[in-house]
């Protein structure tokens, strides 16, 4: 026999249900695995055994050992009759009837060591389960809570993380009246040292809530990020996303969360657009209508713990800081072997080694197309049929925000709206 079975009490029954994953189990008035304290039930009334006689390892047979009788579907058991899912068994002449049912386990597995994975396979065989292909199994078995992509998606979709100790408890069931609660602290995986270190660096708590409403925790939050993996997690958690180079979807009815190392790493175009939409506020009514800059890891910690800790709102710089012209650059000669460093107007060339062409014969070489020569002089007039010279992102005021790329996740569907979770530290 493989799996977890339950004797479900029928209408009017006082005792039960009874869960078991191991056979044989005894049924009786006292001193048995399944105890039914009724005078019509013998002390050792019946035994449920594995049906090995017909090489049916998933089957059960019921054997009667009482004076008052045991029946399956109103047929006497005698030396043993098959007892299958959906059958009704009765112990004694009174109405002690129970229906046999099987407990279906939806279990996933991730972030395991080799030894844990081996033990998980053994327990899965005993319990008759196989790893669920779903992104949101009821249970997610793992060694520890870490920023693993499969685990993060499981947490967002409401899975309960457990260790193999929970499966050990299930495999040992022999007539218990209840299944252990997977949310108990005894079965909760420990928080990985990586998460603890990330939380300490960010100054946020690292306590992982076993069952928060992660699927809606980013409701009314707009995240500015070009990391597609992080975008998938934000959408799964009920948030909205916008690319840092596009400002068309900024909504003042949400809180803008810019994923970057700091405000100086945010593209000037996004800064100007966000300043116009998310004005600085002096009240303390929450994050809506404000903008925040947080690190990529802070979003992962929020998904792990179920709580989003935000820094103080952004204080936008003066427009002159984002609209300033590029600094003047001293004209330089390109020798064809090395591009000279770009200097500010007050920098000197003293001490700089330059690979120059011979003085006797200066032959200008063709500049490769992928190199931009900075000059303080105005650009030349475009010539007919000439190729346009590429312009660097720095001169255009642009910047690409690259977040951590250590996870690669599929994009789930958006979830329903609910109240946001907000912690302002």
Helices (H), 340-396: none
Q: Please report the DSSP string for 279-302 in residue order.
A: ----S-S-STT-EEEE-HHHHHHH
* Cα–Cα distance measured from residue 1 to residue 128, given in angstroms and rounded to the nearest whole number: 9
Instruction: Give residues with Cβ within 8 angstroms of 325, minimum separation 6.
Output: none
Residue pointed to by tokens 């030396």: 79
Q: Please report the DSSP string for 46-83 in residue order.
A: EEEEE-TTTT-TT-EEEEE--SS-EEETTEE-TT-EEE
Q: Determine if the pTM surpasses 0.75.
A: no
* Cα–Cα distance measured from residue 320 to residue 397, given in angstroms and rounded to the nearest whole number: 13
Instruction: Give residues with Cβ within 8 angstroms of 169, minimum separation 6.
Output: 180, 187
**Can you list the domains of the chain with their CATH numbers?**
4-103 (2.60.200.20), 107-191 (3.40.50.10190), 214-321+405-424 (3.40.50)
Stated as kind and residue range, the H or E segment containing 317 is none
User: What CA–CA distances, in Å, run from 358 to 205, 332, 339, 362?
Assistant: 64, 16, 17, 6
* Cα–Cα distance measured from residue 119 to residue 116, given in angstroms and rounded to the nearest whole number: 5
pLDDT per residue as tens, the chain (425 positions): 578 899 998 877 778 899 999 889 999 988 899 998 888 889 999 999 887 765 555 578 999 999 889 999 888 887 888 888 899 998 988 778 899 998 888 898 888 889 999 999 999 888 888 777 777 788 999 998 888 888 888 888 888 899 999 999 999 998 888 889 998 889 989 888 888 887 787 777 777 766 567 888 898 899 999 888 888 889 988 899 988 887 667 888 888 999 998 888 888 888 888 888 876 555 666 788 888 998 888 888 888 888 788 888 888 766 554 444 433 433 333 333 333 334 344 444 444 444 444 444 555 555 555 545 454 556 556 555 544 444 444 433 443 333 333 443 444 444 444 444 444 44
**Going edge to edge, which strands form the sheet with 25-28?**
34-35, 25-28, 46-50, 60-64, 81-83
């Amino acid at each position: 026999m493989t799996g977890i079975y339950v004797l479900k009490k029928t209408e009017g029954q006082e005792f039960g249900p009874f869960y078991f994953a191991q056979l044989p189990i005894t049924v009786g008035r006292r001193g048995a695995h399944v105890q039914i304290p009724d005078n019509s039930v013998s002390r050792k009334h019946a035994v449920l055994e594995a049906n090995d006689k017909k090489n049916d390892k998933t089957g059960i047979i019921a054997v009667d050992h009482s004076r008052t009788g045991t029946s399956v579907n109103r047929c006497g058991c005698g030396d043993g009759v098959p007892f299958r899912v959906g059958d009704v068994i009765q112990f004694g002449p009174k109405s002690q009837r129970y229906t046999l049912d099987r407990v279906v386990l939806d279990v996933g597995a991730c972030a395991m060591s080799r030894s844990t994975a081996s033990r998980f396979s053994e327990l899965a065989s005993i319990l008759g389960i196989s790893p669920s292909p779903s992104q949101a199994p009821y249970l997610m078995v793992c060694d520890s809570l870490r920023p693993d992509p499969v685990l993060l998606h499981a947490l967002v979709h409401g899975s309960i993380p457990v260790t193999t100790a929970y499966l050990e408890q299930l495999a040992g069931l022999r007539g218990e009246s209840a299944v252990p609660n997977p949310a108990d602290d005894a079965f909760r995986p420990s928080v990985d040292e990586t998460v603890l270190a990330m939380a300490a660096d960010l100054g946020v708590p690292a306590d992982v809530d076993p069952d928060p409403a992660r699927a809606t925790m980013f409701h009314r939050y707009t995240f500015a990020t070009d990391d597609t993996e992080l975008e998938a997690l934000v959408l799964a958690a009920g948030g909205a996303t916008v690319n840092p180079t596009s400002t068309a979807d900024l909504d003042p009815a949400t809180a803008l969360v810019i994923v970057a190392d700091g405000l100086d790493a945010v593209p000037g175009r996004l800064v100007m657009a966000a300043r116009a939409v998310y004005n600085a506020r002096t009240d303390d009514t929450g994050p809506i209508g404000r903008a925040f800059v947080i690190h990529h890891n802070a979003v992962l910690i929020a998904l792990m713990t179920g709580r989003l800790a935000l820094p103080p709102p952004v204080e936008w710089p003066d427009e002159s800081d984002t609209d300033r012209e590029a600094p003047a650059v001293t004209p330089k000669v390109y020798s064809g072997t090395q591009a000279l460093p770009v200097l500010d107007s007050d920098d000197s060339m003293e001490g700089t080694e330059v690979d120059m062409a011979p003085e006797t014969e200066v032959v200008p070489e063709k500049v490769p197309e992928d190199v931009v020569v900075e000059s303080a002089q105005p650009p030349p007039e475009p010539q007919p049929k000439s190729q346009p010279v590429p312009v660097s992102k720095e001169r255009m005021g642009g910047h690409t925000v690259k977040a951590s790329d250590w996870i690669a996740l599929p994009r789930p569907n958006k979830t329903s709206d609910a109240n946001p979770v907000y912690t302002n530290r």
